[in-house]
Structure 1
């Protein structure tokens, strides 16, 4: 890996040795790490393209006796269903990467596929890219559950529309005007046999985040109040702004523990 600009430190960084804004060297290391993730995602859809080439040209047969399933197991160690999914989604993944300028996380791709099937890969790529940049401009992350929310609303809006062209338009219009779901519904934990269900039905983190969102909305309304602005001194405004920033920095350091979930990815700028 000598050609790779990413390297492990001699000694792990600690809060005492690594704090504050990233240095230029740290920014370079982070960029390189993100590039590795992007390369992995690009390789994923390129695998789907390659598998389709092998299948449609029957290159899998080898000496003439090897089946498609045998080829997948021997050469790639993937199941037939996973190979089918990769072949089904690579065009959408390529379209999004072309439009966005970076590969899409697999979890986002899975949620977006239904929308692409109702419209087109190109339409889905354009709409996803617009949604991504809208979140970036607001300083928010785009997560797979938000994509699922829009896709569900878009598909529901087209029910009963028989004309294919009109149905596609209805789906695209519903996507564009779907209300934003800031937080995904919290899953209800399964109750074990013989165990009393004393825990609340929702994750308390979600409840706290909803309160935080409400507080943010209240602060934005108060900050934009014309009456309060007239009486607020410059010194008071600066003090309030500094407090908001301190709270933001403190919240960014909160770590949420949980079980590792496959493909629980987000897009970050």
Structure 2
């Protein structure tokens, strides 16, 4: 069956059906997903439980895979695939992690608005998150549309931020949460990168705000002034009219474009098991 798309918002987030993601995709199917992603930024596939190998194979249709913050931690991966990121509250022994476990900091940092791997060059293109085990409540994922957010800015502010550069740093969100016990080698594993505050999305040609929690300052501004501007822009971009909340079901596979969306997880009972698996592609195509 061909890919079918049912928009959830007018031009942001859509339900995708018609493909079996556990099987190799034909080139036309890959092109159809790319085209839909250019329009909607987020695609939701229901009832697509994927084994680790199948999720990795699906992701590779869209480019080389990214390790993200694993370049800093290099901790053991209980999923046994370095490029399959364990988005869970489960420790190395397969038990629900204690609240003092450092992995819980990662869970909490995921509740901040961010774009995956904006702290590196190349940054991330697509992220694909598959739901395996879910808690009884909470743990939804919210997405915001950075293109619509830019469109709605007043012209004065558009003119003010045009040409500005923001510095993105991998550990900025961790430091915000009090997690600062990193070696010098870890702190330097992913040095800061700068990106334009206003970018043009290559697939749609639309301008967008490239912001999020990894943006630590604005180049050529004082830290205080730059951070206040970044917070104001983030507050604007995450207003309800630009946000969609995805309520997970086991077997969901959600794909989003990190170049034009931000996302965050929502609170859940950290003592309840929650397991999702993420693959992310690099923006090199």
TM-score tier, shorter chain, comes to under 0.3
Tell me which protein shows more helix as a share of its residues: 1
Q: TM-score, normalised by structure 2?
A: 0.26
RCO greater where, 1 or 2, for CA within 8 Å and sep 6 or more?
A: 2
Larger radius of gyration: 1
